[in-house]
Amino acid sequence: MSRMNFDDAALAIAEGQPTIRPLTLVEASSRAAQLMMTEFKELISTLDSDWAKKCFAFLRVHGPSGDAAIRDGNVWALEQWMKTALASVIASGVVVQEIVTPESAADLAKLRKQVAYFNLLPQETAAEAAEAVPAGPTEADLDAEVINHWRTLSTSEIRSKCRDAAYKSRFDRLMNEGRLGR
C-alpha cells in the first residue's frame, strides 16, 4: 500500500473511508519485538539470536488464543505477552544469556517486574519466572577464561582471540589491572 498525501487523506476522511489500515498480526508482532529490543537492549544483546522465535513458540502453546486485541494486531498487547514469554523462556532455560553483565541483569529485573505487574500467566509460572537466576558465564568467569588463555595459549592464538572486540576489551582491561602477569 502506498502512502497517502495530505489531499488524498482529507478526501478519504470526507468520504468516510479509513485512511490507515489495521496492522496484520505479523506486522504487529514485528513491531512488538522491535519495541522490546529498544527497551531491553542490554538483555537482548546477551541472548541467542533466535530469542524471538522461541518467544513466539512459547506463545503458541501458552498464549491467549481468544484475545481479540492480539488477533486485531494490538502492538501494546502483543508486547506485554512477548515480555511474559521472554521472562518464561529465560526462566526455563530455553533461552540462555551468553554473558551476564550488570546492565543485562538490570534489564532482566525490569522485565520480571513488568511481567509480575501485568500477571498474564498463572501465579506459579510467574513466580518461577521472577525467581529464576540468569544462566550463562559471569564477568568473573570470563576474566578467568582470558587469564587462563594468557597462561596457556601461544602469542599467535592470543592475537587471534583479540580480533573479537569484546575479548580484546576484556584482555586490555586485565592487562592494565596487572592481572595477566605470570
Using the predicted structure, report yes or no on whether residue 109 has a pLDDT greater than 80. yes
pLDDT at 14: 59
Query: Of 70 and 55, which is predicted with more confidence?
Result: 55
> What tens digit of pLDDT does each residue of 110-146 get?
988 888 776 765 554 545 555 555 556 778 888 888 8
pLDDT at 161: 87
Using the predicted structure, report yes or no on whether residue 67 has a pLDDT greater than 80. no
Would you say 168 and 162 are in contact if contact means Cβ atoms under 8 Å apart?
yes
Radius of gyration, alpha carbons of the chain: 23
Alpha-carbon span 35 to 21, nearest angstrom = 20
Q: Spell out the long-range contacts of 63-71 with Cβ–Cβ below 8 A and sequence spacing 24 or more.
A: 64/120, 70/25, 71/25
